[in-house]
Structure formats: structure tokens, C-alpha cells
A and B are shown apart, each in its own frame.
Chain A
Amino acid sequence: MKRVFGLLCGVVVAFSAPQSGHAQNLILSQSEISAALSHGPWPLPKQDDPSNRMSGNAAAISLGKKLFSSKKLSADGTLNCASCHRPDAGFTDGVAQAMGHTRGDRNTQALYNLKYQRWFGWDGRNDNLWAQSLRPIVRVDEMALRTTDLSEVLTGEEFAAPYSALFGSPPQLSEQQNLVNVGKLLAAYIETLTTEKTPFDRFRDALAAGDEAAAAVYPEAAQRGFRIFAGKGKCNFCHTGALFSNGEFHDAGVPYFVAANRVDSGRHGGIKALMKNPYTLAGPYSDDPKKTGAWKTRQLIRSHNDFGTFRVPSLRNVGRTAPYMHNGSIATLEDVVHHYSNIDLERLHADGELILQPLHLTKRESADLVSFLLSLTEVDD
């Protein structure tokens, strides 16, 4: 945490004013500028989730925020959503693998900008945010609450009035419906967690406006880093668009063995779970009669190549979400760059995608790429 804060202080100094004694220039080529423009504009247009009738509802958002921090949603009253998704830590927990009632296999993902995602979870086992939000409540290794106990929680003094105003009296609803409702309240709140413009966005805005002087305020180191990101690094093949993620699943050469006799199947297992999931966009709990977005689950292709692939995370606010990768196995952004620079092709699927190649970056190139990545992080005022 201290190290991340130190890095961020460096970012504030680096991006608040041009480096003293050194004039900045716009050094990107026209094609590189075009590539930069593809990563915006930011923020994206506001959108509510039609499958969640609580989406955008102020009362629901307020109640969802209370539920997010309530330990009453855990069986033993010791955990809440914020136990792993800490608001003071980029909505992650700063550790390699999440710790609920037991240690999990995967890194806690940040909750920024989730409303723009297509799939949820490292393995995409949910096709909507409210389904993803209810899952940790009932998982035995996370909050472990029994659905039979949820009605009692919701009729308690803290939640009874606002919950009933939105949904009706909990005892009159089924256990499943109460669980889904809580998922929708949490999702309504989590949708509000969006990031502001970053130094890169201001650079992009200047490029879009043709304001070279304003664009040149963006440090040359970060520009060189972007040149690698969109050039020989091919990072933008997967980290695309305004979110810096294509939202799909890939093999990044990170081992998926979690124990001697156990593997994390990633997307392969996620699709299996999705096919049995009653909480999909096509299912009975969606509030959308048009079933918008249900096509992606209906038309999903299942392939053995999905094994060991994980969802491409957004790089927005990446400076705040260490450690990295699906299992939190890479501690810093410098280490991430080193991983890709020296990637072991033997670790990739034998018949997988031919995208990643060792980059063999120099020290300066690695530092430049890190500088660019840090520029995707909000700067505290």
C-alpha cells in the first residue's frame, strides 16, 4: 500500500507540471495518435442496466451502499463486501488472493467501471452485475450466509423500511427473490463506482481537439510507453478501447496451477457454471422483457482453448490495484512489464493465440511502459 502511494505521489509530481528544465513535445506519429484516440473518450455515456430495475434508483443505491458495508450479510457477522473490496484500497484488498472465511484462489478484482463490462468475475461465470454481486454472500468460502437467514437480516431495524419500500415485505418473498433483490441493490451501488479523467484522458482530449501544446504536457516517457503499448507490445490487442479491456478471456502465460493436484480452469469452468446459472440475463430474475444482452450467453462458443484463460481486466486505475493477474502472483507494475517482456512461450497454450511474444524491453523501455500505465490512474487532488 505504501509503495503504491509512493508511486502515486510520483505520478502527481510528474503530471501536475512539465518537468523543470525540459520542454515536452508531442512525439507520437499520426498512426500512434489514431491509436490513442481509440482509447476514449472518457467518461463513457451513462447507462442503466435494464435487467436490474434498481439500476439508477437513488434509494436503491443508498441501500446498496449500506448493504455493501454491512457485516449482517455474513454468516458469523465478521465479513462484508468491503472486507475484500476496500474503498480505501481501490476496492481491492492489496493481497494476492482474497481472504473470506478461507483463502481463495484468485485476486480480488477492483470494482471500478463495472457497469460497462460484458462478463463478470475472472472466469465470466456471470453475465450481469447483480448476479455477480449476490454470489459472495452465499459462497461458503466467502460470506457464507444461508438464504434462509436473509429474510431475518432484511427485516431487521436497519434495512426493513427501505427494503420494503422498494420490494415489499421480505417474508412474503421467496428466499431466492430476496437474494436476487440484494444482488440488485448492491449492483445499483457498485454501478456508481466510476473513475474520473486521468492524465492519459486529458492527453487524449488534447489530441482529439488538435491542441498540440496541451498534448505536449503529457510526459514524453508516458508517450514512449504508449508507443510500446500500441506498437511492439501489442498490449492494445486485448486492452482495447476506453476501458482498456476487450472484456474477453485470454491466456497471459500465468500458471493456473493452484496446488499440486488442483488447477484453476478459468473461463472453461466459468462457462460450465454459467450454463447452470439461474441468474443470467435470459433467466426469470431479469427485469428486462427484451432480454437485452442475453445473446452473448446463448451464442457463446465453448472450446477447450478456454481452459486457463481469464478475463482481461481494465487498466483504468491500475496503479491502485496491486498485486496483479488472476492469482495476484505479480506484485508490481514493473513486474508485470517484466513478465510480458520475458514471457515464457512454453507456458502458453500449445494451440493458443499467436499474439504474445517476448519483448526483451530495455530498462528505459520498461520504465516508459510503467509510466504510461500509471497515467491511466486517477490523480488525487
Chain B
Amino acid sequence: MTGKRIFAGIALLAATTSSAAACTIPDGWTMMQVEHAQSSKIALELPPTPVKIGEPFSIDFLVCANPQPGIGDIRLDATMPAHKHGMNYKPEIKEVADNIYRGSGMFFHMPGEWQISVELLIDGESRRFLLKVPAR
């Protein structure tokens, strides 16, 4: 599968007193928004946008968390909030390096604003991170 790769780094800083994996956000990365107030921080490296519609693409994302979620506890999705619909395909996620995952089969079928979401299930708690991305 060919397509653009969007590299997203997600840094998650735990708010607990337990030791947390410190994540250094690389220079030039963009902070992601978190759905609910928490001490987590998310950063990503944006590719050239807008994302081309009608072509599958992959997203690489970095997860720093304590504890680190298993691959089965990571969800990747995207929706168009203005239209109230999501993608027609479910991305496949695999670990490509330590704490780096690749979501393949992302597919935007309409122009406009999409919202990518990454959800981590940690200790029974959902932590959701959002990023708005234009598609054309």
C-alpha cells in the first residue's frame, strides 16, 4: 500500500505520583488536543496537508505511557464531525518499533475537516486524543 505517512508523536505524561515515563517532545512537533483535561500531553509531526482523499494512507504514532498499553488497547479512528460519519474502513495497527505504531488503511472519502482520534485503554480507563486534519 502506498500513501502518505503522517507521523504523530503522542507523549503521555501520567499525573500520578508513580514513576512516569518522561517523553521529550521533539522540536517542531504539534501538540494534540486531549478530550478531557488531564496531564497527558500529545505531540505529533504533521505531514504536508491536506490529506488526499480517495487514497489509503498510513499513520505512525508514538505512544509514551505508564503503563504502556498493549497493542490491543490502542484504537485508531477518524470521523467528519460536521457530517456525522466516520471512515468506511478500520485501520490495522501494528508495532513497528519500540512504542511506535503504524495504522494502515486510513481512508478519507470526502473533502473537508476530519478528526483523527487515538484512544488508549490503560487500567480500564480510556484516554482519547484528537487531531483535526483537512482533506481534499
B: interface residue count bin: 20 to 34
Q: A237-B111, A248-B109, A296-B89 are in contact. Are A38 and B136 (CB under 8 A)?
A: yes
A354 contacts partner chain B, Cβ-Cβ < 8 Å: yes
CA gap between A236 and B54 in the complex, in Å: 13
Q: Which residues of B lie under 8 Å from residue A247 when comparing CB positions?
A: 54, 109
B105 contacts partner chain A, Cβ-Cβ < 8 Å? yes
Taken together as a complex, chains A and B put the C-alpha atoms of A7 and B84 apart, in Å, by: 38
- Cα A300 to Cα B87 in complex, Å, equals 9
Is B56 in the interface zone, CB < 8 Å from A? Answer: yes
Does A102 have its Cβ within 8 Å of any Cβ on chain B? Answer: no
With the chains together, A351 CA to B83 CA distance in Å?
11
Q: Which of B85, B88, B90 has the most CB of A within 10 A?
A: B88
A354, B53: Cα distance in complex, Å = 19
Binary CB contact string for chain B from 54 to 89 against chain A (1 if under 8 A, 0 otherwise): 101000000000000000000000000011111111
- Chain A residue numbers with a CB within 8 Å of B56 are 295-296
Instruction: Give, as a whole number of angstroms, the nearest-CB distance from B53 to chain A.
Output: 6
Query: Which stretch from A22-30, A61-69, A238-246 is at the chain B interface?
Result: A238-246
Residues of the B chain whose Cβ atoms lie less than 8 Å from the Cβ of A299: 89-92, 105
CA distance A112 to B92 in the complex (A): 33
Find out whether the CB atom of B111 lies under 8 angstroms from the CB atom of A295. Answer: no
A237 touches B88 (CB 8 A): no
CB-CB < 8 A to A305: which residues of B?
85
Tell me if A165 is interfacial: C-beta within 8 Å of chain B.
Answer: no
For residue B112, CB closer than 8 A to chain A, the reply is yes
Give A300 to B91 CA distance when docked, in angstroms.
9
B117 within 8 A of A: no
Residues A240 and B111 in contact, CB atoms below 8 Å apart? yes
Q: Chain A: how many interface residues by the 8 Å CB criterion?
A: 21
Partner of B112, one of A38, A237, A241, A352: A237
Which of chain A's residues have a CB closer than 8 A to the CB of B87? 301
**Contact of A246 with B109 at beta-carbon distance under 8 Å, contacts A354-B83, A355-B83 already known:** yes
Neighbouring A residues of B111 by C-beta, 8 Å: 38, 236-237, 240
* Known contacts A354-B82, A355-B83; A240/B89 CB under 8 A: no
Q: Chain B interface mostly helix, strand, loop or mixed?
A: loop
Which chain B residues border A295 with CB–CB below 8 Å? Answer: 1, 56, 89, 92, 104-105
CA distance A353 to B104 in the complex (A): 25
Query: Across the interface, which residues of A come within 8 angstroms of B110, CB to CB?
Result: 237-238, 240, 246
Task: Evaluate contact between A248 and B84: CB separation under 8 angstroms.
Answer: no
Interface residues of B in 82-116 (CB under 8 A from A): 82-92, 104-105, 107, 109-112
B85 CB contacts on chain A under 8 angstroms: 305, 352-353
* B89 and A353 contact, CB distance less than 8 A: no
For A355, what are the chain B residues with a Cβ–Cβ distance below 8 Å? Answer: 83
CB distance from A126 to the nearest CB of B (A): 16
Residue interface mask B105-136, A partner, CB < 8 A = 1: 10101111000000000000000000000001
Residues of A within 8 A of B109 (CB): 240, 246-248
- On chain B, the residues within 8 Å of A237 by CB distance are 83, 110-112
Cα–Cα, bound, A301→B79 (Å): 13
- In the complex, which residues 297-340 of chain A have their Cβ closer than 8 Å to any Cβ of chain B? 299-301, 305
Q: How far is it, in angstroms, between the C-alpha of A297 and the C-alpha of B56 when the chains are bound?
A: 13
With A236-B111, A241-B53 already in contact, the answer to whether A301 and B88 are too (CB < 8 A) is: yes
Least Cβ–Cβ distance between B7 and chain A, in angstroms: 21
- Residues from chain B with Cβ under 8 Å of A238 in the complex: 110
* 0 or 1 for each of B29-59: is its CB under 8 Å from A? (1 = yes): 0000000000000000000000001101000
Determine which of A240, A248, A354 lies in contact with B88 in the assembled complex, contact meaning CB atoms within 8 Å.
A248
Contacts of A248 in B (CB 8 A): 88, 109
Q: How far is the CA of A38 from the CA of B1 in the complex (A)?
A: 23
A365 to B84, CA, bound (A): 28
Could you list 16 further interchain pairs (A-B, Cβ under 8 angstroms) beyond the known A299-B105, A301-B88? A38-B136, A237-B112, A238-B110, A240-B53, A240-B109, A240-B111, A241-B53, A295-B105, A296-B56, A299-B91, A300-B88, A301-B90, A305-B85, A351-B84, A353-B83, A354-B82
**14 A-B residue pairs with CB within 8 Å:** A236-B111, A237-B110, A237-B111, A238-B110, A241-B54, A295-B89, A295-B92, A296-B56, A301-B87, A301-B88, A305-B85, A351-B84, A352-B84, A354-B84
Residues of B participating in the A interface, judged by any CB pair closer than 8 Å:
1, 53-54, 56, 82-92, 104-105, 107, 109-112, 136
Lowest 4 CB-CB distances: which A-B pairs, in order? A299-B89, A299-B105, A248-B109, A246-B109
